[in-house]
Structure 1
Amino acid sequence: MNICKNFKFLRLTGCCMRNFADIRPEQKPTYTLEKLAHRELIRVHGPEVLPFLQGLVTNDVSHLQRPDGPSSIYAMFLNKGGRVLYDTIVYRTESPDTYLLECDREASEEFRRHLRTFRVRRKIDVDSIDDEYVPWVLFNTEKCGEQVGEKLQRNKEWELFISSDPRLPTLGTRILAPTDFNGLLRAKEMIVTPPSSERNYQLLRYKQGVGEGSEELPPGKCFPLEANADFLNGVSFNKGCYVGQELTARIHHSGVIRKRYMPIRLTAPLGANQTVQSIAGANLGRVFGHAHNHGVALLRIEQVLNGHQELVVDGERCFAERPDWWPSDLPSKRRQAFTD
């Protein structure tokens, strides 16, 4: 009888041990850390820097000066006709007289020239700090929008400025680091890896339908609301005047926005022809960036999303998607524009 009980005990013990073996510690999430080689930081400094920037960008820079305000904002510089010239992320610093502006590296020289043109008699210094700091991005495609700043252990060797992307939580966390930063981060509760062909910042943006830089947002070719600046927290309709403000406000209040940037999925490598067409041959938009069968295109909203059109680019099928970060219920005026 004792033997039977012992055997029963052994069987129960075996089951418990097997169940115990199935319990593993929760795996740490994997984040990608990528140096943004195509972006550059510009320092704008001076006692009148706030009114200077307020008169040039679409967003309200004064939010950065509030004690409880954000550490960065997304904004655009427009020409007098209200079309986009440059996209930027504006970062606050410890000095209220100094801001850092992130811009496209290829357009950096023209961007600085544009800023200096509007200085007039203001004491404003505009210079590149490319030899001091460079931007990085840290993101996780599975844990979109998770705040990771508190998980990064501060290393006294590096002075890092950490800020969530002001456009979309999905786009990760911006890190401004010294130029000699080697990309090694000490982090709690996560694993940090370098980018790969399947997991990188460009592909992340394309899947969200977010254009960036002079190639994807060609200067003078689109309006800020077509580039989703209103949905990406990049425009203020309550601040004072700025270059291009009149037409931007008029488009916003009329609600007539017929084209927007959207993510597209390609079925074949894209050739020289980047015009998106219907099967019947009508032009519906243009692709401005693509990689690994994903891209970003400026497309006609009504025909593409509500008309159930079969889309073709360079002779091959492609599919446009409505970004999940777009408002689910658009204002009635804009809804009316879709049916014009």
Structure 2
Amino acid sequence: MAETTGYVVLEQRGVLAVTGEDRVAFLQGLVSNDMQAVTPERAVYSLFLTPQGKYLHDFMVAAEGDALLLEVEAARRDDLLKRLRMYKLRSKIALEDRTAERMVVALVGPDALARAGLPAEPGAAGAFAGGVAFTDPRTADLGARAILPAGTDLAALGLGRLPFEAWDSRRLELGIPDGSRDLEVEKAIPLENNLDVFNAISWDKGCYMGQELTARTRYRALIKKKLVPVTLDGPLPAPGTPVRLGDQEVGEMRSGLQNRALAMLRLEDLDRAAKEQIAFQSGDTMVTPHTPS
């Protein structure tokens, strides 16, 4: 974790707003988490899946006034808007892109949650600096997020700006995927990528897009591979580089930074490597998996 508490501007994130009296019911039937749980005091992390239960989008959802704010990948927000509009039908809602008027920041460091007035409880939310802040819904170990008016000066609150790497390194250490950097669109299975562990799925909310196959994957224990954090001894392999165990290809790399990265590996090979003390390799780099707490 960063030794200095500060903020990181997440320039790759955008903000969509869903307003109107049907906003909760509209999203409830489409996304993986419980929209009825979203209040000014609680935000959630959620997924928009294909009917086959494969990843399309992931986002934070926070309440602000009469709107549900979706904090999304900026580069892919038009695709999400298009998909949501397909299901609008007669719902009394409005969908807006508020990216130009908002900024998304991560608060990192040992005092990050205290500075935002938040407890170490995933999803705990409250007003902050003219916007809304919330403990990261995936794990409090990643600090807080905030959706603020564009141009907000956090220096007035005694917070200095930190580089993106201050947040990204901690994310990698914790094994948390970062949207389509790590999750293959229309291919990634939520449970293979630990999205259930990171609180993206409500198992008792009822039907949503992709719910049947997501539940089947869980209850039939169909997972054969997992996204895991790894440390590297050697050059950082590019995303998609194969990972080998001996002469056998057993997975591939995802995003990374310096000597940390994520890799998708088969569970049987993780067990085999541990038992036989065999090293994973990706190119010329030794890859050592870890199990985060």
Tell whether the structures are fold-level matches, with TM greater than 0.5. yes
Partner of 1:320: 289
1:104 maps to which of 37, 49, 73: 73
Q: Which runs of 5+ in 2 are unaligned?
A: 119-127
Partner of 2:103: 134
Matched, 1:284 2:250: yes
Matched, 1:149 2:125: no
CA contact (8 A) 1:106 1:214 kept: no
SS at match of 1:87: strand
Deviations 1:138-181 (A, max 9, x none): 111xx388544228xxxxx9513121111111111111111121
Partner of 1:49: 23
1:120 maps to which of 89, 96, 101: 89
Partner of 2:226: 260
Partner of 2:11: 37
Matched, 1:86 2:57: yes
Matched, 1:163 2:134: yes
2:242 maps to which of 267, 275, 279: 275
CA contact (8 A) 2:17 2:70 kept: yes
Partner of 1:211: 177
User: How much has 1:255 moved relative to structure 2?
Assistant: 2.1
Instruction: Report how many aligned residue pairs link the two structures.
Output: 279
CA contact (8 A) 1:284 1:304 kept: no
TM-score w.r.t. the length of structure 1 is: 0.76
Partner of 2:264: 298
User: How much has 1:301 moved relative to structure 2?
Assistant: 2.3
Deviations 1:201-253 (A, max 9, x none): 11111111111122221211211111212111110110110010000011111
Q: Which has the higher strand share?
A: 2
Moved more, 252-261 or 264-273: 264-273
User: How much has 1:256 moved relative to structure 2?
Assistant: 2.5
Q: How many Å separate the matches in 2 of 1:289 and 1:248?
A: 24
CA contact (8 A) 1:72 1:92 kept: yes
Higher alpha-carbon Rg: 1
Tell me which amino acid in the other structure corresponds to 1:33. Y
CA contact (8 A) 2:154 2:160 kept: no
User: How much has 1:200 moved relative to structure 2?
Assistant: 1.4
CA contact (8 A) 1:74 1:167 kept: yes
Q: How many Å separate the matches in 2 of 1:270 and 1:240?
A: 42
CA contact (8 A) 1:46 1:125 kept: yes
CA contact (8 A) 1:148 1:173 kept: no
Q: Which runs of 5+ in 1 are unaligned?
A: 1-28, 152-156, 325-340
Tell me which amino acid in the other structure corresponds to 1:278. L
SS at match of 1:184: helix
Tell me which amino acid in the other structure corresponds to 1:103. V
> Residues 277, 44 of structure 1: CA spacing in aligned structure 2 closer, same or farther, 3 A cutoff?
same
> Residues 236, 171 of structure 1: CA spacing in aligned structure 2 closer, same or farther, 3 A cutoff?
same
CA contact (8 A) 1:270 1:314 kept: no
Partner of 1:25: none
CA contact (8 A) 1:136 1:176 kept: yes
Q: How many Å separate the matches in 2 of 1:196 and 1:51?
A: 38
2:187 maps to which of 193, 218, 221: 221
Q: How many Å separate the matches in 1 of 2:114 and 2:218?
A: 31
Partner of 1:330: none
SS at match of 1:161: strand
Matched, 1:179 2:179: no
> Residues 185, 304 of structure 1: CA spacing in aligned structure 2 closer, same or farther, 3 A cutoff?
farther
Q: How many Å separate the matches in 1 of 2:250 and 2:112?
A: 32
CA contact (8 A) 1:32 1:200 kept: no
Moved more, 128-137 or 268-277: 268-277
User: How much has 1:57 moved relative to structure 2?
Assistant: 0.9
Task: Give 1:216-255 correspondences, 5 Å limit.
Answer: 216-255=182-221
What is the alpha-carbon root mean square deviation over aligned residues?
2.3
Task: Give 1:63-74 correspondences, 5 Å limit.
Answer: 63-65=37-39, 70-74=41-45
